Structure 1
Amino acid sequence: MTLSFKTKDRHGYSVQFSPYISSRLACCTSQYYGIAGRGTLFILDVRSGSIEPVRIYEWNDGLFDVTWAENNENVVVAGAGDGSLLLYDVKNPKVNSVSWSQTRDENLIVTGSWDKLIKLWSIDNPKSLSTYTGHEGIVYSVIWSPRIPGCFASASGDGTVRLWDRRTSYPQTVISAHQMEVLTCDWNKYDQNILYTGSVDCSIRGWDVRNTKQCICEMRGHRFAVRRIKTSPFNGNTLASCSYDFTVRTWDVRQPHAMEIIEHHKEFVYGLDFNLHIPGQIVDCAWDELIHIHKPKSL
């Protein structure tokens, strides 16, 4: 069964299940496809077989990424097109602090931006703690390692993925991952050395960060750019992807072709996440103003 929610004149960019509450999710959206206009953050709950809003927050610029805090079930962080990092308390409907997002590692947030920079933030300090340079293109994605303290990966329009230790300003490893822009990356939840990348070249590749001369696997099938990939929290060989080809696909990383192709959107699919509490359940959002929660048959 698929549950759906209409975001009404707001185009979905990122969606994430709460790590604390199995029925709760956050979705950030933008007006006019993110080109102009306002942004809206939806906090949603699944109740009695439907998706219901808990909070709806407006911002004067588009919202492009969202994540839940790792140390507080009520705090959500959203990244805005005006360069702001917005912290929301679901119990208290106001903006607490403000520049761009993704979080893990206690109270620390790591962000990547169109200015090619990566910055480290603490929710207790309005100024960035560190700035990381080296990318020669837009930084599309940054994500903490779920297993290595202080380590994060970044994906960029320069075709590289870089691995960083937050204590140093230079990358520990530079992976020439694709010959075109890299839009997304995610760590394997079961093996700290395995990282996956998705690109404008329509491919998904797996990398062993101990030896990056050659990818360890490659998956193809998307007809347009791979916008986001997420690895399963329940199976080390499973990941999901979404694309500008309007599809969501599930993969066994040991096979080159998708296990399942899900075609329930009519526009670019930008956001994707696994539910940490319910095996096989995923959520996705797209420019067609729809959020879908569902269980693919292949999962």
Structure 2
Amino acid sequence: MSVVRTLRVPGRHGYAAEFSPYLPGRLACAAAQNYGIAGCGTLLVLDQTESGLQIFRSFDWNDGLFDVTWSENNEHVLVTCSGDGSLQLWDTAKATGPLQVYREHTQEVYSVDWSQTRGEQLVVSGSWDHTVKVWDPTVQNSLYTFTGHESVIYSTIWSPHIPGCFASTSGDQTLRIWDVKMAGVRIVIPAHHTEILSCDWCKYNENLVVTGAVDCSLRGWDLRNVRQPVFELLGHKYAIRKVKFSPFHASVLASCSYDFTVRFWNFSKSDPLLETVEHHTEFTCGLDFSLQSPTEVADCSWDETIKIYNPVCLTVPG
């Protein structure tokens, strides 16, 4: 592996990392004190320099921050979500904040995502209160509330292809597909026999969603026929905390786990595991591919470090 840029943030345990869709090398990280059990949270906005990673902005919140998403129409704006049930809207051009706080969820909000499809500016949030909410960030109250999950919601992700369509995963062992134009759920998939902590939508196939679960497996689902997964990836030793599809390679994805590793996969190959990265000493919770560089990845961990690096498997042709 080439140069690993590392920033240690003492007393802050990383939960989520997301690259800016606008600025190369800019990364946001949502973190919490005391492993998110108690204490405050911090939104860290980092820039890469030749000397490493530097903090551009740091914002504190009075409860742990569990996820972060960049605005798709303003390079300065982000949304985070928190253990106190609220979402926060931040502006990196301002040293103080937040600009807005949205309070409707009644328990921890574990997932937040900004829609990537043109013509809509919507944020989706998933909570331990078993509800999914859809927000217009310019409006104080949510636009829609979706119910149906029977347990904690861990992950909510917009389709990059279909406006108003998103996926969610839950402790109820299901992957669900929703549409804001419909009152209820479109598809319910009993995707694993354990809690499902993460999902992501393929950037090259509107019908392909991947799930990562406590059973240590990743499963790919073709939404046109959900009786069986189209692939299953095995190798992690503990629960999979986050899964992300590559924005540059149609069949490449990455996963991070409570086994401290990040693994890179190509599900089109007979031997799909491309590389295992072992550079953390605690649960690895946050993971993202750069949208600017085909070889660059970021992750964050409960070991108080945030890392940006170039895995060998993404830098070697083929």
Q: Percent identity?
A: 51
Cα offsets for 1:134-171 (capped at 9, x unmatched): 00011100000001111100011100000011122311
Contact 1:130 1:169 in 2 (8 A): no
Cα offsets for 1:210-247 (capped at 9, x unmatched): 11001000000000000000000000010000000000
> Paired residue for 1:44, among 24, 43, 46?
46
| Aligned equivalent of 1:122 | 136
- Could you tell me how far 1:49 is from its partner in structure 2? 3.4
Question: CA 1:256–1:211 in structure 2 vs 1: closer, same or farther (change >3 Å)?
Answer: farther
Whole-angstrom distance in 2 between the partners of 1:143 and 1:257: 24
| Aligned equivalent of 1:26 | 28
| Aligned equivalent of 1:176 | 190
1:244 matched to 2:258? The reply is: yes
Contact 1:197 1:229 in 2 (8 A): yes
Matching of residues 1-299 of structure 1 within 5 Å: 1-93=3-95, 94-99=97-102, 100=109, 101-104=112-115, 105=117, 106-254=120-268, 255=270, 257-299=272-314
Cα offsets for 1:156-210 (capped at 9, x unmatched): 1100000011122311001110000010000110011111000000000001001
Structure 1 residue matching 2:34: 3-state secondary structure: helix
Whole-angstrom distance in 2 between the partners of 1:102 and 1:256: 32
Structure 2 residue matching 1:259: 3-state secondary structure: strand
Structure 1 residue matching 2:113: 3-state secondary structure: coil
Code of the aligned partner of 2:281: K
Whole-angstrom distance in 1 between the partners of 2:266 and 2:122: 32
Contact 1:163 1:173 in 2 (8 A): yes
Whole-angstrom distance in 1 between the partners of 2:124 and 2:237: 31
- Count of residue pairs the alignment pairs up: 299
Whole-angstrom distance in 2 between the partners of 1:212 and 1:146: 20
Contact 1:11 1:288 in 2 (8 A): yes
Whole-angstrom distance in 1 between the partners of 2:25 and 2:50: 11
Whole-angstrom distance in 2 between the partners of 1:221 and 1:72: 39
Compute the TM-score of the two structures, normalised by the length of structure 1.
0.98
> Aligned-residue CA RMSD in angstroms?
0.9
Whole-angstrom distance in 1 between the partners of 2:313 and 2:271: 15
Contact 1:184 1:228 in 2 (8 A): yes
Instruction: Give the ranges of 4+ consecutive aligned residues of structure 1 lying more than 4 Å apart after TM superposition.
Output: none
Contact 1:43 1:54 in 2 (8 A): yes
- Could you tell me how far 1:256 is from its partner in structure 2? 5.6
Range moving further from structure 2, 8-17 or 105-114: 105-114
- Could you tell me how far 1:258 is from its partner in structure 2? 1.7
Code of the aligned partner of 1:273: D
Contact 1:68 1:103 in 2 (8 A): yes
Code of the aligned partner of 1:103: W
Whole-angstrom distance in 2 between the partners of 1:149 and 1:58: 33
Contact 1:185 1:228 in 2 (8 A): yes
Contact 1:218 1:256 in 2 (8 A): no
Compute the TM-score of the two structures, normalised by the length of structure 2.
0.92
- Could you tell me how far 1:257 is from its partner in structure 2? 4.5
Code of the aligned partner of 1:36: A
Whole-angstrom distance in 2 between the partners of 1:154 and 1:278: 28
Structure 1 residue matching 2:35: 3-state secondary structure: helix
Contact 1:229 1:239 in 2 (8 A): yes
Cα offsets for 1:64-107 (capped at 9, x unmatched): 00010011000011001101110000001211111442111532
Task: Give unpaired runs (5+ residues) of structure 1.
Answer: none
Structure 2 residue matching 1:107: 3-state secondary structure: coil
Whole-angstrom distance in 1 between the partners of 2:137 and 2:220: 33
